[in-house]
Amino acid sequence: MDLAFMNDIKGRLFLYHDRLVFQSRKMDKVFPIASIRKLAYEKKTFVTSTLFVNDVPITVCRAHIWAARMVDLGLRCNVDGRIS
């Protein structure tokens, strides 16, 4: 679990064995691991970075670690990482 922003909405990001979940008071968004076709991250010079799940940007700390954990869970797509 980590704090995150998606579409300018503050929430929490959870990773379960079969899904990635963004949860806030205004919305819940579920990304089943099996349905993720595109995963990327952009690591900034500070701690905050951006995780792109099927082209949906999620601002979260340590996005590269979130991407690695999803690969460990059996994600079957290439991961594109950028450091800026």
Give the right CATH number for 2-83 from 2.30.29.30, 3.40.50.300, 3.10.20.600, 2.60.120.1090: 2.30.29.30
| pTM for the model | 0.87
- Read off the pLDDT of residues 18-73 as tens digits, 9 standing for 90 and up: 999 999 999 999 999 999 999 999 987 777 899 999 999 999 988 989 999 998 98
Is residue 6 predicted with pLDDT exceeding 60? yes
> Hey, where are the domains in the chain?
2-83
Q: Look at residues 22, 38, 64 and name the one whose alpha carbon lies nearest to residue 8.
A: 22
Extended strands (E) in 1-84:
2-6, 9-15, 19-23, 28-32, 39-43, 48-53, 56-61, 79-83
DSSP letter assigned to residue 65: H
Q: Look at residues 74, 68, 37 and name the one whose alpha carbon lies nearest to residue 53.
A: 37
Determine which helix (DSSP H) or strand (DSSP E) holds 63, and give its type and residue range: helix 63-72
